[in-house]
Chain A
Amino acid sequence: MEERLESKEGSRMRKTAMSALGTFGRNLGLTLYALFALFPLVWMVICSLKSDAEMYNTVFRFTPTLTNYTAVLLGTDYFKAFFQNLAVAGGAVILTILAGVPAAYALARYDFKKKEDLAFQILSFKFAPEILVILPIFIIFQRIGLYDTYFGLIWVYQLITMPLVIWVVRGYFEEISVEVEQAAQLDGYKWFDVFFNILVPLIKPGLVASGLLAFIFAWNSFTFPLVLSGFKIQTMTITSLRYIASDTVHYGQVAVASLVAVSPEIIACLFIQKHLVRGLSFGAVKG
C-alpha cells in the first residue's frame, strides 16, 4: 500500500517535472525562433544608428548617431515617396475591392460557361513572373500615356492584388447559404440591402485579411514601379536604391529607408494579426 502510494507520488512528481520541462522547452524554442526572426530587424536598427565608417565592424559597441536619419528624412524627399507609395498601394487595394468583391460574388453565385476556367485565369495572373510581362506593359504604357502616373501603377498592381482578394472572398461567399439571400428577398429587401446588411458583415474577416495582404504585396512591389515610373511617381522601394551611390553604398541610409518602409506593415500586422489568421483560414461564417 505504502509502496504504491509512493510510486504514485513519484509518477506525479515525474509528470509535473516533465510538464515543467515541456513548458520550459517550448518557451526556449519560441524564444530562439523569435531571436532568429527578429534579428534582421534588430540588425537594421543597429545599422541605421551607425555611421558609414563603423558600418563594417561587427562588434555591437559603437557610437550611435542620428546622422542617417537626418540625411534621409530631412535631406531627401523621402516622405514624398512614402505618401506616393501609400497612394499607389492604397489605391490599388481600393480598386481591387470595388471590382473584386462583385467579381467574387459572381464567381460564387452564378453559373456560366467556362466559369472555373475564368476563375483559374484570374489566379494565373499571379503565376507569371513580373519581369516576363514588364516590357510589353512598359511599351504599351508609354504609348497610351499611363507611364509614370498614379493610375498606371494602380492599374498594373491589380495583377498582384486582384487574384488574392477574388479567391479569398469567393470562398467566403460560397460558404454563405444562398437561402440567406432568398430569405431576405422574401422579407422584402432589395439585393443591394441584403448585400450590405447581411453579406458584407459575413465576408468582412476575409475581406480585411486578403485586403491587407494585398496591400502589403502592393506596398512591397519593386519591379513594376522600377520600370513603369520613376520621375513623377517614386515608391519607397525605388527611392531606397538612391542611397546606393556610384562611389559608395550608404548602408546606414538604406537601413533608415527600409525601417520607415516596413513600419506601416509592422504596425498593421500587430493590430490585425488575429484577424489575419482567422480571415485566411475561413470558418465562423455559418449561420
Chain B
Amino acid sequence: MRVGDSLLNMTTSEEVWYDRGQPVQLEFKAEKTHLFEPESGNRILK
C-alpha cells in the first residue's frame, strides 16, 4: 500500500483478493493509532 512516498503495510484476511492498483477504502482502529513528534520521536499524549 503506497501513501505518498512511504509504503503502508497492512494485513488482509485471506479470502479477499485485490487487484494491483485498485483503490481501496481504509480505516485505522482509532484507539490503536499513535502520534509521535517528528524530531524527538516522543509520543504525544498517551
- A–B in direct contact per CB < 8 Å: no
